[in-house]
Structure 1
Amino acid sequence: MSAASTSRHFASYGPLASAARNLTRQSCLKAPYATLRGAPQPLATEDGIPPSDNDFILSILRANPSLRDSKNYLASFGPKPVPAPSKSSPQAAAGPTQDQTALTRSQKRARQLEALQASPIVQSILDPVKRRTALVKLQGPFTDTQLDSVSRGLIYLKKLGLVSVIVVENDEFVRGDHGERAAITEETMRIVRTLERLGAPARPVLGALVRLGPDPDALEEDSRIPSPEAHTRPFDLVTLRSALRAGEIPVISPLALDSFCRSVRVDANDVIGALAKGMVDAASLDRAEGSRNAAEEEGISDDVDLTPMRLMIINREGGVPSYARHGLPHLLINLESEYEYIHDTFQAPWRDTHRTALANLALARTCLAHMPPTSSAVMVSHRSPSSLIGNLITNKPAVSSSLPHALLQGNRRLTPATPTLLRRGLEIRVLREPEAIDRTKLTALLQQSFGRTLDVDAFYARLERTLDFVIVAGDYVGAAVVTREGAGDPVTYLDKFAVLPSHQGDGTVDFLWVALHDESYGLGLSFSANPNGGRGGQGEACDLVWRSRGNNPVNKWYFERSSGHTRMGDWVLFWCDAEKPLKEEESRRNGAGLSFVEDWERGRLARWKDVVIDIPSAWAK
């Protein structure tokens, strides 16, 4: 891809780019017209160097969490309450004394440090109150250096309150080999020794925690998701509970009890699948029996919640390769709608380079079916263990999958070691007829998302005349309403883009925008043939236009995904260029590059403004 093509889009990443991004955003808002062609390339922040001890804080900073991300982290790991200073104290009443004004520099520094340590956010990061678990598949073989790097990443997670439950696997061990059992035991002990050498107490679990065969007492579940070939009972997890309560990281050998109570070697995926369901069931039983005392409910207990928050698959392969990125990893996978399609588009060479990718994909689907809806899975190479911290704090992919495709292709952060984030996800449907819309559910979604009252009669009467399509996520937890506006050659207009507040931050926004891309400005390209219930990539792309209030906080997100914007009084007009005509023109010029405005694009802004400014408000006055 040429620089000219990528230059039509712009985004900034990493802590060093934050100030520049804010300055750019302010400048764009003041400009009467702006386009993002010719802007600089994104900054790279992933250097691929194994983290050192000091990289713990740097890894947190690199995560660059949003306010919502920070709140979600604090809700999960609960900061200790900090008592407010007494208003009746003499110092508070009388103000600073002469001695206080004459503090030495060292005394001031000491007081600043005390104030920093009293911060609830700092306290929650350095000493999390609630400790939760992550299931980790450590899929070797790893060299000593690689294992050190991975172990440091897991230790950092423990510092943040996420305790790893490690299940050992090694792709080089031959199943059924005479010395396999001894090799598994030695690998387990090697991981334990590495963790303890780096300062993290660990406990080897060399006995079986799970039993062979599906759970005979399991309720009927989704037939599309195969049950694990093993199961476990709450009383089987005594050793696991003991290790977690002692502050140790359990390292589990992939063993199971057969029907004769013999310990046999099994696939690590079966052990992890059984633990995912068993740990969730055990945690539910704890709550049902009221075993947690009042102190635990207030968030001041050192006990560990058995419910897994994350599934982490750490291997040498990295994430799941994507046909849309020429074999580079998928960034975010919606398992509900993309699972079968990923199987269908998995290319033959990847079965050699990523031999366990599909098996790990199936493992993620099995585990997430039992884990809470907010949980996620991540497949990551041993080369980027620090990315696990970003995943914990933000629960988002390293690079957003809804960014423009040209930007993703030219992004230096997108490498073979980039992790793949997997969510249970939602079904995506495309509705093209007004009668197919559930008006009650769509109305409730729009009103909750925007916090305003919809003028129902006028809104749906206009959709009867102008509707192009509606993309619906799940049971109307998100929707994108697209209309065709204006006479003659109508403008493709994004009328509403909404996600329920309860689903903001769980990947629904990205799933919905990717589907919107595939049905409008990205239509006709091979990487737009995703299973979104729409055209499957067949058709002609069109420019997508929408408007937003100038003070809308969502504009930051729109700036990163649009091709350009222009001011219209109190409004900002955004658009995304139709990608297929631009790619064809660039190919025709043999990579000579694109101009800022192609001949067929001239005059379109004035026309868009005339059409969009006359679209009536959908809200009741």
Structure 2
Amino acid sequence: MLSHTVLHGPRILSPAAASALKARRTQTFRAFYATIRSLRQPPPTVEVDDLDSPDNDFILSLLKANPSLRDTKSYLANFGVRPQTPEPADSIFPSTRPSTSSVPKEAPNISVNKQPEQLKPTPGPIVSSILDPVYRRTALVKLQGPFTNKQLDSIARGMVYLEKLGLVSVIVVENDNLVRGDDGERSAIIEEIMRVARPVLGTVVRLGPKPDDELPEPHDFVPPEAHVFPSDLVAIRSALRAGEIPVLPPFALDSFCRSVRIDANDVLGALARGMAEAAALDDNGMKSGSCDTHEDYSQDINLVPMRLMIISREGGVPSYAREGFPHLLINVNSEYDYIRDTYDPSWYKGKPSSLSNLSLARTCLAYMPPTSSAIMVSHRSPSSLIANLITNKPAVSSSLPHALLQGNRKLTRDTPTLLRRGLPIQVIRSLADVDKTKMNNLLEKSFKRTLGADAFYRRLEQTLDFVVVAGDYVGAAIVTNETSPDSSEPISYLDKFAVLPSHQGDGTVDFLWVALHDESYGLGHPFSINPNGGKEGKGEGRDLVWRSRDDNPVNKWYFERSTGHMRMGSWVLFWCDAEKRLKVEEGRRANAGLSYIEDWEEGRLSRWADVVTKIPSAWK
């Protein structure tokens, strides 16, 4: 148990202790300037053998992220150039650049005889950076040590690289080795934060609930036991405006205005709420024109936290599905209780703070925008932070087949865990419980076609097996039982898989597919026991079959998640084998392995194709 002794201020040190502390602080400042300030300057010429590992190289980190076109568009939407306000016609310095909207789609031909003096000079990089500023966003970072100087240097590089990409970090430092109430605790914590970046030694957070809060209401998260007023953020705003990375100790002011050490998670939770509220006040003031022109805030930095980063020696949250390796993606809304209730006691030895950090993520994400995410990452993989910033996705998709995930070299004990606020997931077994109006809206917006609702639901009344619904019908998977004349066992058919366009790319697709897996071909596995109203892993898995037009752009995603596929004219037939049955067959064969086609697979493709091709279209 940690001691809960409250510190009432700095302790008086002996001359010898003060001298030792001064020496350590001198070394600390050297480390500080070496890790942050020097990274902003051009690197000196070094021998090849003296170079850091490629993991810390900024360009290689960007290339390793391998963002898709959608990822790139999403990044530019958050960090790209903001629309420029049109200048008045009588401006003294008219803009020399046409707006994006005024550029023709096809540029006119330029005559090769044009004189050089008629060509406008290309602005230099400094001018371009001023004309096209990167829109800077903020991230909250929990730095949970202790770390060595080399480890801190690696982490600091990651923070600076993120700043180059537009994400400015606000760091709260915690040291698990410093027990509350020990002598010299306060000095040790201050020394620790001065090893990282610009220290903000003034206490920002206040202990206790916010005074103007009404009676506490029940939350689905743990509210922080601290709060922040907008005026308390002056030091942080000043650091961000100066291009510095502010670092805070886990201190708070109590009711007697004493600076006391509190849980770093409460500091981060209070900052998440306070920064979001301060940004809302800034926006309202700017819209109404009533903001104080002398107030210390910067308009070019959005204070609303966009990311929460928990950097520790432990990394992500361990998972049964990964045999103790970290979860890849967590839907906090629907998986939080399940993960806490089923946490293996043996994991506490190596990862004692996983559940408290999971709780921190749920608290902060509740105050952050729905598109925000949290990442729990080991200090050994700082380059993962860049990949997360650009793609906002886990290192490997959690909806891939488990056979591929278990053999994937990218998955190690240091693989980060990505967390999203997510959506509740429910499994519906009766068509009467389906909200048809919302389902119609989802299907038509997702497929961009008009649904023949009457015929579609008449068919579902006879064939429906279950429906997986994400959130308030922002996504759904409809599975039916299709009778086969050649078999007494019906075919499990994925009739519709749809996600609203506004939720494509925010993790909903993966959340939905994982739930579909747990209710169909993944049944029988211990990691399919998710409390979403379904079978909770009990039962025998069944082969899942579906079809898609051969020109469907989603087919690449289907190819990666299916066991196999077969082309049928203008259609492609996909299927996923029941995982438990494959595991049993592999166990029977031992080292011999499975043959190309097993006896139980004979004729099933032709049977599936015969049944699937006769299913009528649901569209008008």
- TM-score, normalising length from structure 2? 0.83
Q: Retained in 1: the 8 A contact 2:524–2:538?
A: yes
Within 1, Cα distance between the matches of 2:387 and 2:218? 31
Within 1, Cα distance between the matches of 2:252 and 2:69? 43
Within 2, Cα distance between the matches of 1:404 and 1:340? 24
Secondary structure of the residue aligned to 2:196 is helix
Q: Does 1:167 align with 2:164?
A: no
Within 1, Cα distance between the matches of 2:381 and 2:52? 7
Structure with max Cα Rg: 2
Within 1, Cα distance between the matches of 2:552 and 2:103? 38
Question: Match of 2:112?
Answer: 96
Question: Match of 1:523?
Answer: 523
Secondary structure of the residue aligned to 2:355 is helix
1:580 deviates by 0.7
Question: Match of 1:16?
Answer: none
Alignment of 1:528-547 (within 5 A): 528-547=528-547
1:222 deviates by 4.4
Question: Match of 2:491?
Answer: 491
Letter in 2 for 1:234: P
The one of 189, 192, 203 equivalent to 1:208 is 203
Letter in 1 for 2:259: S
Within 1, Cα distance between the matches of 2:254 and 2:383? 38
Within 2, Cα distance between the matches of 1:117 and 1:529? 55
Q: Does 1:612 align with 2:606?
A: no
Question: Match of 2:59?
Answer: 57
Question: Match of 2:89?
Answer: none
Within 2, Cα distance between the matches of 1:473 and 1:130? 32
Within 2, Cα distance between the matches of 1:116 and 1:566? 54
1:116 deviates by 12
Within 1, Cα distance between the matches of 2:324 and 2:266? 28
Q: Does 1:328 align with 2:330?
A: no
Secondary structure of the residue aligned to 1:323 is coil
1:302 deviates by 6.4
Query: Deviation per CA, 1:383-420, whole angstroms, max 9, x where unpaired?
Result: 11001011111111111000000110111100011000
Q: Retained in 1: the 8 A contact 2:54–2:60?
A: no
Query: Deviation per CA, 1:170-227, whole angstroms, max 9, x where unpaired?
Result: 11111111111000010111112xxxxxxxxxx2111210110122333555433121
Alignment CA distance shift 1:92-1:521 (3 Å): closer
Secondary structure of the residue aligned to 1:137 is strand
Letter in 2 for 1:258: D
Question: Match of 2:277?
Answer: 281
Letter in 1 for 2:164: K
Within 1, Cα distance between the matches of 2:103 and 2:244? 43
Question: Match of 1:477?
Answer: 474
Question: Match of 2:256?
Answer: 260
Alignment of 1:457-476 (within 5 A): 457-476=454-473
Q: Does 1:352 align with 2:349?
A: yes
Within 1, Cα distance between the matches of 2:390 and 2:229? 31
1:169 deviates by 0.5
Q: Quote the RMSD (CA, aligned, Å).
A: 2.6
Q: Does 1:447 align with 2:463?
A: no
Secondary structure of the residue aligned to 1:453 is coil
Question: Match of 1:249?
Answer: 245
Letter in 2 for 1:96: V
Secondary structure of the residue aligned to 1:324 is coil
Query: Deviation per CA, 1:493-530, whole angstroms, max 9, x where unpaired?
Result: 00000011111111110000000001111111112112
Within 2, Cα distance between the matches of 1:222 and 1:573? 48
Q: Retained in 2: the 8 A contact 1:207–1:253?
A: no
Alignment CA distance shift 1:359-1:56 (3 Å): same
Q: Retained in 1: the 8 A contact 2:55–2:383?
A: no
Q: Retained in 1: the 8 A contact 2:55–2:61?
A: no
User: Is there any run of 5+ residues in structure 2 with no aligned partner, and where?
Assistant: 1-50, 84-96, 291-297
Within 1, Cα distance between the matches of 2:565 and 2:325? 30
1:541 deviates by 0.7
Query: Deviation per CA, 1:322-367, whole angstroms, max 9, x where unpaired?
Result: 1221110000001111111111121111111001101000000000
Secondary structure of the residue aligned to 2:375 is strand
Letter in 1 for 2:571: W
Secondary structure of the residue aligned to 1:534 is coil
Within 2, Cα distance between the matches of 1:115 and 1:611? 64
Question: Match of 1:77?
Answer: 79
Letter in 2 for 1:311: L
Alignment of 1:221-240 (within 5 A): 221-240=217-236
Question: Match of 1:147?
Answer: 152
Within 2, Cα distance between the matches of 1:370 and 1:292? 24
Query: Deviation per CA, 1:478-506, whole angstroms, max 9, x where unpaired?
Result: 00000111234211100000011111111
Q: Does 1:380 align with 2:377?
A: yes
- TM-score, normalising length from structure 1? 0.83
State the 4+ residue runs in structure 1 displaced beyond 3 angstroms. 49-54, 80-88, 91-94, 97-100, 114-118, 218-222, 291-294
1:94 deviates by 5.4
Alignment CA distance shift 1:53-1:549 (3 Å): closer
Question: Match of 2:26?
Answer: none
1:257 deviates by 0.1
Question: Match of 1:200?
Answer: none
Query: Deviation per CA, 1:430-466, whole angstroms, max 9, x where unpaired?
Result: 0011101100000100011111110010000000010
Question: Match of 1:68?
Answer: 70
Secondary structure of the residue aligned to 1:486 is strand
Question: Match of 2:182?
Answer: 177
Q: Retained in 2: the 8 A contact 1:137–1:272?
A: yes
Alignment CA distance shift 1:589-1:128 (3 Å): farther
Secondary structure of the residue aligned to 1:169 is strand
Secondary structure of the residue aligned to 2:321 is helix
Within 1, Cα distance between the matches of 2:317 and 2:55? 29
Q: Retained in 1: the 8 A contact 2:138–2:167?
A: yes
Letter in 1 for 2:226: A
Within 2, Cα distance between the matches of 1:610 and 1:468? 20
Within 2, Cα distance between the matches of 1:407 and 1:415? 14
Letter in 2 for 1:345: T
Letter in 1 for 2:142: K
Alignment CA distance shift 1:455-1:87 (3 Å): closer
Secondary structure of the residue aligned to 1:269 is helix
Residue-pair matches, total: 539
Secondary structure of the residue aligned to 1:589 is helix
Alignment CA distance shift 1:511-1:305 (3 Å): same
Secondary structure of the residue aligned to 1:191 is coil
Alignment CA distance shift 1:363-1:509 (3 Å): same
Within 2, Cα distance between the matches of 1:588 and 1:87? 66
Secondary structure of the residue aligned to 2:610 is helix
Q: Retained in 2: the 8 A contact 1:565–1:574?
A: yes
Question: Match of 1:341?
Answer: 338
